[in-house]
């Protein structure tokens, strides 16, 4: 089993020393650097390049620079997607965003995690678990989403939250660790 196959299976894999994964990350980061250097007024080039970086997109998307990801091909973005400046997506596992997702500045999505055992960490081992963000989700600035988290439809995550566990739909959740503080009535 290759390191990439181990990663896809949610097993410990070696990301630091596997040539295939290193080459894929380097190629993606080169594209991210190119994207981040484009003028905001060059909307057509920005759209074309971001759709080249990401695995799957709908038509109406906007990601403000700077944007960084590991592989790009594991990211799926729905319609009417907006991410403010300094978005980081460590997409070792799939990261799926629904339609009408709005992300504040300085937000991070981390599918990768590392073993507690120092020997395993020092060998370059890590694991990756998918992240899913539903439709009509708003994430405030400086939100961090950790491996394996799902965020339900119509949910708002308050600024500065660290989301360590999945959050249901139709709620407002805030804090570190992020917790549900109230429900959002369906008529809103």
Residues annotated as catalytic are 114
- Report the distance separating Cα 65 and Cα 40, nearest Å: 9
For 69, the enclosing helix (H) or strand (E) is strand 67-69
CB 126 within 8 A of CB 13: yes
C-alpha distance across the termini of the chain, in Å: 49
Nearest to 70 by CA among 28, 110, 37, 41: 28
């Amino acid at each position: 089993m290759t390191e990439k196959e181990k990663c896809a299976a949610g097993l410990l894999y070696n990301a630091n020393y596997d040539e295939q994964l290193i080459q894929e990350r380097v190629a993606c980061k080169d594209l991210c650097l190119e994207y981040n250097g484009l003028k905001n007024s060059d909307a057509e080039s920005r759209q074309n390049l971001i759709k080249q970086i990401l695995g799957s997109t709908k038509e109406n998307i906007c990601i403000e620079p700077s944007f960084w990801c590991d592989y790009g091909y594991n990211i799926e973005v729905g319609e009417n997607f907006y991410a403010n400046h300094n978005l980081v997506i460590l997409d070792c596992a799939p990261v799926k965003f629904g339609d009408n997702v709005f992300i504040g500045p300085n937000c991070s999505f981390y599918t990768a995690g590392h073993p507690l055992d120092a020997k395993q960490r020092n060998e370059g081992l890590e694991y990756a678990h998918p992240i899913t963000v539903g439709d009509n989700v708003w994430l405030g600035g400086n939100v961090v989403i950790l491996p394996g988290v799902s965020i339900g439809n119509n949910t708002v995550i308050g600024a500065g939250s660290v989301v360590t566990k999945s959050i249901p739909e139709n709620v407002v959740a805030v804090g570190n660790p992020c917790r549900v503080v109230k429900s959002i009535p369906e008529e809103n």
